Amino acid sequence: MRAAHATSDAPPSAARVHVLVPVPLGEVYDYRLPEGCVARPGSFVSVPFGRRQMIGVVWDEQPSERPSPEESSLKEVTAELDCPAMPPGLRRLVDWVAGYTLSPRGAVLRMAMSVPKALEPPAPRIAYALGDRPAKRLTKARQRVLALAAEGPPRGLTELAREAAVGAGVVRGLAKAGALKILELPAARRFSAPDWRRAGATFSPEQAAAAVRLKDRAHQGGFATMLLDGVTGAGKTEVYLDAAAGALERGRQVLVLLPEIALGAQWLERFRRRFAVTPAEWHSDLGARQRRETWRAVATGEARVVVGARSGLFLPFAELGLIVVDEEHDAAFKQEDGVIYNARDMAIVRARLEDIPCVLVSATPSLETVVNVQQGRYERLHLPARHAGAALPEISAIDMRAENLASGSWLSGTLLDALVETLESGQQAMLFLNRRGYAPLTLCRTCGHRLYCPNCTSWLVEHRAFHHLQCHHCGHREALPERCPNCDGADSFAACGPGVERLAEEAGAKLPGARIAIAASDTLNGPKAAAALVRRILEEQVNLVIGTQILAKGHHFPMLTLVGVVDADLGLAGGDLRAAERTYQLLHQVAGRAGRGAHPGRVLLQTYMPDHPVMGALISGERDRFLEEEAAARRKLGLPPFGRLAGIIVSGVDEGAVATTARELARRAPRQDGLSVLGPAPAPLSRLGGRHRWRLLVKARKDVALQAALRHWLAETKPAHGVKLKVDIDPYSFL
Ligand code: ADP
Ligand code: ZN
Which residues contact ligand 1 via a Cβ below 6 A? 201-204, 207, 230, 232-238, 387, 556
- C-alpha span between 275 and 242 (Å, rounded): 10
What's the 143 CA to ligand 2 centre distance in angstroms? 67
- C-alpha span between 150 and 129 (Å, rounded): 7
Query: Which ligand is the nearest neighbour of the Cα of 199?
Result: 1
What's the 67 CA to ligand 1 centre distance in angstroms? 59
Q: Whose CA is nearest to atom 19 of ligand 1?
A: 235
State residue 62's pLDDT score: 61
For residue 18, what are the β-bridge partners? 30, 59
Q: Which of 185, 166, 180 is nearest to 129 (CA)?
A: 180
Q: pLDDT at residue 12 above 50? A: no
Average pLDDT of 573-600? Answer: 88
679: helix, coil or strand? Answer: strand
Q: Which of 202, 186, 398, 412 is nearest to 302 (CA)?
A: 186
- C-alpha span between 370 and 380 (Å, rounded): 9
What's the 417 CA to ligand 1 centre distance in angstroms? 32
What's the 363 CA to ligand 1 centre distance in angstroms? 13
State residue 260's pLDDT score: 77
- C-alpha span between 247 and 215 (Å, rounded): 8
For the stretch 208-256, pLDDT in tens is 999 999 999 988 889 999 999 998 889 999 999 999 999 999 999 999 9
Residue 201: phi and psi, rounded to 5, are: -65, 160
Query: Which ligand is the nearest neighbour of the Cα of 324?
Result: 1
Q: Residues for the chain: how many in total?
A: 735
Confidence of residue 16 (pLDDT cuts 50, 70, 90): confident
Query: Which ligand is the nearest neighbour of the Cα of 389?
Result: 1
Mean pLDDT, the chain, whole residue set: 91
What's the 500 CA to ligand 2 centre distance in angstroms? 20
Where is average pLDDT lowest: 23-27, 56-60, 432-436?
A: 23-27
- C-alpha span between 683 and 734 (Å, rounded): 8
For residue 151, what are the β-bridge partners? none
What's the 493 CA to ligand 2 centre distance in angstroms? 20
Q: Are 83 and 119 in contact (CB under 8 A)?
A: yes
Average pLDDT of 638-658? Answer: 96
262, 266, 324 from 273: Cα distances, Å: 18, 11, 19
Q: Whose CA is nearest to atom 15 of ligand 1?
A: 235
DSSP secondary structure string, 574-593? SS-TTHHHHHHHHHHHHHTT
Query: Which ligand is the nearest neighbour of the Cα of 689?
Result: 2
Ligand 1: atom nearest CA of 363 is 3
Q: pLDDT at residue 10 above 70? A: no
Confidence of residue 185 (pLDDT cuts 50, 70, 90): confident
Residue from 238, 240, 271 to probe ligand 1 pocket by mutation (most atoms less than 8 Å from CB): 238
Q: Whose CA is nearest to atom 9 of ligand 1?
A: 235
Q: Which of 697, 689, 694, 685 is nearest to 720 (CA)?
A: 694
Where is average pLDDT lowest: 60-69, 420-429, 591-600?
A: 60-69
Which residues have a Cβ under 8 Å from the Cβ of 298 and sit 6 or more positions away? Answer: 253, 280, 306, 315, 316, 317
Q: Which of 641, 572, 588, 560 is nearest to 229 (CA)?
A: 588
Average pLDDT of 368-387? Answer: 94
Confidence of residue 66 (pLDDT cuts 50, 70, 90): low
Ligand 1: atom nearest CA of 203 is 23
7: helix, coil or strand? Answer: coil
Q: Which helix (H) or strand (E) holds 137?
A: none
Which residues have a Cβ under 8 Å from the Cβ of 396 and sit 6 or more positions away? Answer: 602, 603, 604, 605, 619
pTM listed for this prediction: 0.90
Provide the CA 69 distance to its chain's centre, in angstroms: 41
What's the 419 CA to ligand 2 centre distance in angstroms? 36
For the stretch 305-328, pLDDT in tens is 999 999 999 999 999 999 999 999
Average pLDDT of 666-672? Answer: 94
- C-alpha span between 627 and 622 (Å, rounded): 9
For the stretch 98-137, pLDDT in tens is 999 999 999 999 999 999 999 988 887 888 888 888 877 7
Longest CA span, the chain: 94
Residue from 227, 387, 538 to probe ligand 1 pocket by mutation (most atoms less than 8 Å from CB): 387
For the stretch 294-303, pLDDT in tens is 999 999 999 9
What's the 687 CA to ligand 2 centre distance in angstroms? 8
For the stretch 264-300, pLDDT in tens is 778 899 999 999 999 999 998 899 999 999 999 999 9
Q: Evaluate the CA torsion angle 532, 533, 538, 539 in order and state its sign.
A: positive
Ligand 1: atom nearest CA of 383 is 3
249, with CB counted inside 10 A (0-12, 13-18, 19+), is middle
What's the 573 CA to ligand 2 centre distance in angstroms? 21
DSSP secondary structure string, 394-428? EEEEEEGGGT-PPTT----HHHHHHHHHHHHTT-E
Where is average pLDDT lowest: 11-15, 51-55, 329-333, 674-678?
A: 11-15
Ligand 1: atom nearest CA of 202 is 23
Query: Which ligand is the nearest neighbour of the Cα of 555?
Result: 1
Q: Evaluate the CA torsion angle 507, 508, 510, 515 in order and state its sign.
A: positive
Ligand 1: atom nearest CA of 592 is 4
Q: Are 128 and 160 in contact (CB under 8 A)?
A: yes
- C-alpha span between 463 and 560 (Å, rounded): 27
Query: Which ligand is the nearest neighbour of the Cα of 688?
Result: 2
Q: Whose CA is nearest to atom 17 of ligand 1?
A: 235
Confidence of residue 554 (pLDDT cuts 50, 70, 90): low
48, 225, 243, 623 from 377: Cα distances, Å: 46, 7, 20, 21
Q: Whose CA is nearest to atom 25 of ligand 1?
A: 201
What's the 174 CA to ligand 2 centre distance in angstroms? 62
Q: Whose CA is nearest to atom 11 of ligand 1?
A: 233
- C-alpha span between 523 and 545 (Å, rounded): 13
What's the 321 CA to ligand 2 centre distance in angstroms? 43
Q: pLDDT at residue 11 above 50? A: no
379: helix, coil or strand? Answer: strand
For residue 233, give the amino acid letter. G
Confidence of residue 528 (pLDDT cuts 50, 70, 90): confident
Radius of gyration, alpha carbons of the chain? 30
For residue 183, what are the β-bridge partners? 127
Ligand 1: atom nearest CA of 232 is 4
Q: pLDDT at residue 1 above 70? A: no
